[in-house]
Chains A and B, each alone.
Chain A
Amino acid sequence: MALDLVVVGASLGGLAALQALLAGLPDGFAVPIAVAQHRRPDAESRLTALLGRKTSLAVREPDDKEPIEPGTVYVAPADYHLLVEGEGTFALSVDGPVTFARPSIDVLFESAAEAYGQRLAAVLLTASSDDGAAGIAAVAAHGGVTVVEDPETAASPVAGRAAMARTAVAHVLPVGEIGALLGELAKPAAAERRARR
């Protein structure tokens, strides 16, 4: 099954983990990545700049209804939920916080699971609340690939443990190895695209 979207969740302090994840992606990795990182509501958009240093992929905060393009890392804007719509576009919302967070990891993961099903991989990095656990469960229920940063080595084990208590997570890995896994997952899709040409 082709991999068409990667969603990533992390909470405050997850910046280093996100940077490590992006740095570990193989060259030429082009599957779009959407990130929900907990951040202060008034956060300046320095997050995109800090992530951009670690990757050759384009990094930006999407506008509402922006089409999801390959080769791009999309970061949920501060004080918005980021959602994935069925037709391959993003949507934003200012509904109340979910599990005390806006952006919420669950909101991103659940909407992506419903839109992309088996063509999705979800990565839950270090996070210090339950946000993300329900999202991982939804991704698994829709046939997507679930990945959790190993709670033994994560800055905070809370979210990873909560997700693993709830769902039989497919891959539990140190953050440094997740990029390579995503590269492998992306390969059948690349092969399929080549075959279609």
Chain B
Amino acid sequence: MAAATAAAEDTGPAELEELETELLLAAVARRHGYDFRHYAAASLRRRLRRAMQEEGVPTLSALQDRLLHDPGAIRRFVSTLSVHVTGMFRDPDVYLLLRKKVVPLLRTWPFVRVWHAGCSTGEEVYSLAIVLHEEGLLPRCRIYATDLSDELLDVARRGVYPLRALRGYTAAYHQSGGRADFSSYYTADSANAIVREDLRRHIVFSPHNLVSDGSFNEFHLILCRNVMIYFDKGLRDRVIGLLHDSLAMFGVLALGLRETLRFAPCEGCFEVIDEPRRLYRRVR
């Protein structure tokens, strides 16, 4: 009886969805080189359903067909599967600590390379640029902001946001230790605002896939916040290794507030700067 039940369950909608997911992800990896097979299952499932809605297709198999035959579809798909919705100075305490504890460390290097991995639509990159500018460090910094999605990178690179959203970040900016007039960092028309050019000048936006691309430089500060929450444990551990290899000795790693290096394989290679704010420093 147990066998009969198992067989009946094998044809259930959940098992069918699992099969279709597996085939679709394999097809996307082989055809387009984007490998989502080791993403965390629960959020991936939601994102795949959203991609189906956005494309107006009824099944994952139909989505797979679209992704194999419609040349524009993959760009949209990668954006839907990688976007995270954030804002400027998300977690203001983190930026306060970057100002107070990390900037002094960065000053000890003549030239500072920063990697913001998984920058999505760019709000947090510009937040960091503002901090570095106010601390007088930006002229000798270069920020490499990367994301998997070309579409999201275009948004980030443009640096244009709805004016209402930007105004909404003013309180967080001040909580992060900002003392200037926040509106001096953007130029607004009636609906939108663009981030000041002298901030954007120090940022290089480029595509990078944490799953399949390697290290591309040695950095003094790496921010990878709320990116690895979308990965399964094996992939997360591998990417922490990649970030470790990309850090200069005594370079700083900033994770999201609910991500931790505890139990990760490289745990011993890092020293805690601040555990609640998830700031770490490479020591070996």
Closest to A97 in B: B85
A51 to chain B minimum Cβ distance, whole angstroms, is: 18
By beta carbon, the residue of chain A nearest B92 is: A42
The answer to whether B259 touches A64 (Cβ under 8 A) is yes
B residues near A115, Cβ cutoff 8 Å:
42
| Contact partners of A64 in chain B: CB under 8 A | 228-229, 256, 258-260
Chain A contributes a number of interface residues (CB within 8 A of B) equal to: 27
Q: Is the CB of B85 within 8 A of A96?
A: yes
A77 touches B258 (CB 8 A): yes
- B260:A63 contact, CB within 8 angstroms: yes
- What residues on A are CB-neighbors of B43 within 8 Å? 81, 83, 91, 93, 95
Q: How far is the CB of B279 from chain A (nearest CB, A)?
A: 15
Binary interface profile of B, 171-184, with partner A (CB < 8 Å = 1, else 0)? 01000000000000
User: Within the complex, which residue of A42, A62, A102, A107 is in contact with B46, where a contact is CB–CB below 8 Å?
Assistant: A107
Q: Is A49 an interface residue (CB 8 A)?
A: no
In the bound complex, what is the Cα–Cα distance between A31 and B43 (angstroms)? 24
Distance, CA A95 to CA B90, complexed state (A): 14
A80 — which chain B residues lie within 8 A by C-beta?
258
Assembly CA distance A93 to B14 (angstroms): 22
In the bound complex, what is the Cα–Cα distance between A84 and B42 (angstroms)? 7
B226 at the interface (CB under 8 A from A): yes
B259 A95 Cβ-Cβ under 8 A: no
Closest to B236 in A: A65
Bound CA span A144–B258, Å: 29
Shortest Cβ gap from A144 to chain B (Å): 14
Contact assessment for B259 and A63 in the assembled complex, using a CB-CB cutoff below 8 Å: yes
Given contacts A94-B86, A95-B47, A95-B83, contact A111 B236 (CB under 8 A): no
9 tightest A-B CB contacts, nearest first:
A83-B42, A96-B85, A111-B42, A94-B84, A93-B43, A64-B229, A91-B40, A94-B226, A92-B229
B: residues with CB less than 8 A from A are 14, 40-43, 45-47, 83-86, 90, 92, 172, 226, 228-230, 233, 236, 256-260
User: 7 pairs across A/B with beta carbons < 8 Å?
Assistant: A64-B228, A65-B236, A94-B85, A94-B226, A95-B47, A97-B85, A114-B42
